[in-house]
Amino acid sequence: MKIAVITLIGSSDDYEPLRAGGHELKFGPARGQTLPRLTEDEIVAAVGDADCLVHNTITRSLLAALPNLKVVITPYVGYDKLDIRAATEAGVLLCNTQTEASTMGMAEATLALMLASAKRLHLRAGRLRDGGWRDDGSEHAVLLQGSTVGIVGFGAIGQSVARHLFGWGVRLLAYTRTPWATMASDLGVELVNLQSLLEQSDIVTLHVPLTRETRGLIGADQLRSMKPDALLINTARGAVVDEKALILAINEGWIAGAALDVFHEEPLPTDNPLRNLNADRVLMTPHAVANTDAARRSTQRAVVNHILSIAEGKMPRTALNVEVGVPALG
């Protein structure tokens, strides 16, 4: 099998088991997030006649330009940059990659943002760094015990967040389109509709994939439904939240604050209005808060195992369009 790796999140040495198994490997030009993204022409040139592509993006036009392609694997949990419909029509199998370490890392990162925002760490650390000391007592931190945390999206990451918070003395609500009643009961989570979750939660944390249904899920109406002292945490995808509505919500005091690790456009442009929001109320990180060495290593291993499974005629657990079937690979 010919394998082209464009999105490399670790060392190329991690792919040696594939070379040892007789597969042909080639690596595309390395591009960091701060450098220009590859054009489709550059991707086509790098992939050539490969059967399998490891990359976080596939479009209808790329599929048309790469007729030999049979498998695309993204080394990330999110798959919003994969055109599933076009790939299915082309008979190309798509897989994302989710490991225990990446799930746990995202859950821990969510709790870190939640605690940092609730305890107002960025405000207090900034005041001290600027030569100040304590505030006048008017800006109190939030006590999580006794508060209500609403989890929007109750898949692996949402469940992991709930598992981490279990025993903290918080009331847990979740909104999900998937019936997870038994799991929710085991974790002490009450399943509710989105409106009820927003109205009742002191902290709302987002863990849904970006789809046509979830794009703009949290807009002006939803933000106005939240408590004025509530916090919004987004480690899912930027476009799940209407950024213009969020800016209004912060500036006009609809909610108390937000912690964001994801944005509509990434890297976040220097002229994006989000950068001008009150830094005491908005904590932002560059879509990297969940990055860990353990997650990178486990993800690379998982990508390799996906490819080995497909080469053996087995369907990977994280296949996104199983109806395509396992392709025959050379």
pLDDT of residue 10: 81
Return d(Cα 173, Cα 203) in angstroms, integer: 10
Tell me the average pLDDT across 107-111. 97
Q: Which of 237, 281, 296, 306 is catalytic?
A: 237
Sole residue written with tokens 């009742």: 200
Candidate from 4-13, 67-76, 239-248 with smallest mean pLDDT: 4-13
Each residue's pLDDT tens digit, 14-31: 999 999 999 999 998 755
Each residue's pLDDT tens digit, 45-55: 999 999 999 99
Q: Which of 120, 287, 296, 306 is catalytic?
A: 287
Phi, psi of 151 (to 5 degrees): -105, 115
pLDDT band per the 50, 70, 90 thresholds, residue 90: very high
pLDDT of residue 29: 75
pLDDT of residue 43: 93
**pLDDT of 329 above 80:** no
Query: Which residues is 282 bridged to in the sheet?
Result: 258
Query: Please, which contacts does 192-200 make with residues 24 or more away whose CB atoms are closer than 8 Å?
Result: 194/152, 194/222, 195/225, 197/150, 197/152, 197/173, 198/150, 198/222, 198/225, 198/226, 199/225, 199/226, 199/227, 200/148, 200/150, 200/173
Return d(Cα 109, Cα 161) in angstroms, integer: 10
Say which amino acid occupies 142.
V
Each residue's pLDDT tens digit, 188-218: 999 999 999 999 999 999 999 999 999 999 9
Say which amino acid occupies 100.
E
Q: Which of 16, 100, 252, 266 is catalytic?
A: 266
CA-nearest of 205, 180, 246 to 118 is 205
Residue with more model confidence, 312 or 129 = 312
**By the 8 A CB rule, do 108 and 165 touch?**
no
Q: How many CB atoms lie within 10 A of CB 104?
A: 20
Tell me the average pLDDT across 263-291. 95
Residue with more model confidence, 13 or 194 = 194
pTM score of the predicted model = 0.91
Which domains are seen in the chain, by residue range? Answer: 2-99+292-324 (3.40.50.720), 100-284 (3.40.50.720)
pLDDT of residue 201: 98
Say which amino acid occupies 258.
A
pLDDT band per the 50, 70, 90 thresholds, residue 83: very high
Return d(Cα 178, Cα 188) in angstroms, integer: 17
Query: Which residues is 283 bridged to in the sheet?
Result: 259
CA-nearest of 151, 221, 160 to 192 is 151
Residue 26, H or E segment: strand 24-27
**pLDDT of 156 above 70:** yes
**pLDDT of 170 above 60:** yes
pLDDT of residue 33: 43
Tell me the average pLDDT across 216-222. 98
**pLDDT of 63 above 60:** yes
Tell me the average pLDDT across 174-184. 90
pLDDT of residue 55: 95
**pLDDT of 34 above 50:** no
pLDDT band per the 50, 70, 90 thresholds, residue 142: confident
Say which amino acid occupies 61.
S
pLDDT of residue 9: 84
Indicate the average pLDDT of the chain.
Answer: 93
**pLDDT of 243 above 70:** yes
Each residue's pLDDT tens digit, 289-328: 999 999 999 999 999 999 999 999 999 999 999 999 999 8
Identify whether 237 is a catalytic site residue: yes
Tell me the average pLDDT across 277-282. 92
